[in-house]
Amino acid sequence: MYVLYYSPGSASMVVHAVLLETGTLHQLQLVDFGRNEQHGAGYLKLNPTGMVPTLVVDNVAVQESAALVMLLAERHPEARLAPPAGTSGRAEWLKWTVHLSSHLGGLYRQWFYPSDLGMEDYSVAMRDAVRMKIEGTLERIDGHLAQHGPYLLGNAFSSADLQLTMYMRWARNMPRPATTWPYLNALALRVTARPSWIQMCEIEGLHDWAAAQA
């Protein structure tokens, strides 16, 4: 049995969707950001960074959304969330999984948490710089999908597409929402139609974002 420590719409949502893709038994444990529970002593024992997600796997707390996605894909090969080890698509899947989390996820972290840098808010110049980096990354991924899509790995859906869709959703209130890039939007249309995504949104109460219908 897995236990997912989550907050609705946060970086835990991809792990939640992956758990639903695997069909495996899991429990959800809300970490209430409104009550600052992520920084409470109890939660910090599970995740010293004070962030979600944390997944308890065989009684061990594991952190970092990308690591959890890879771990679950490895433990549940029947869900076909990743190309098998040793096949040609595996390196691409590893690359996208890590790149999305470290690069795009890192940029969003900067965008949403000026407090990480000890600031209450950014200057206009700083906010513009982070926004441009996020938009540049989305532009590049859209170009990749135009050439090699419809999914990140071509014709095969993988967990990396769930990650990408989560990061697209986070731009919904930004000056340029991710759905304005045509190939990204097309990918999000496919991913958000999956039963796992629909169920995850239902459970987490997320009804404020949709890809534009073609």
Ligand X SMILES: N[C@@H](CCC(=O)N[C@@H](CS)C(=O)NCC(=O)O)C(=O)O
**Residue number closest to ligand X, CB atom:** 51
Of 73, 79, 82, 105, the residue at the interface with ligand X (CB under 6 A) is 105
Under rule CB under 6 A, residue 52 binds ligand X: yes
| Among residues 10, 97, 110, 158, the one that binds ligand X under rule CB under 6 A | 10
The correct pick among 22, 101, 159, 163 for binding ligand X (CB under 6 A) is 101
The verdict on 35 binding ligand X (CB under 6 A) reads no
- Nearest partner of 162 among 100, 84, 112, 204, judged by Cα: 100
210 phi/psi in degrees, rounded to 5: -150, 150
CB 152 within 8 A of CB 143: no
Interatomic CA distance for residues 194 and 91, integer angstroms? 25
Among 4, 17, 19, 51, contact with ligand X (rule: CB under 6 A)? 51
Q: Alpha-carbon torsion 34, 37, 40, 46, what sign?
A: negative
Contact code string over 158-187 relative to ligand X, x by CB under 6 A: ------------------------------
How far apart CA 64 and CA 50 sit, in angstroms, is: 11
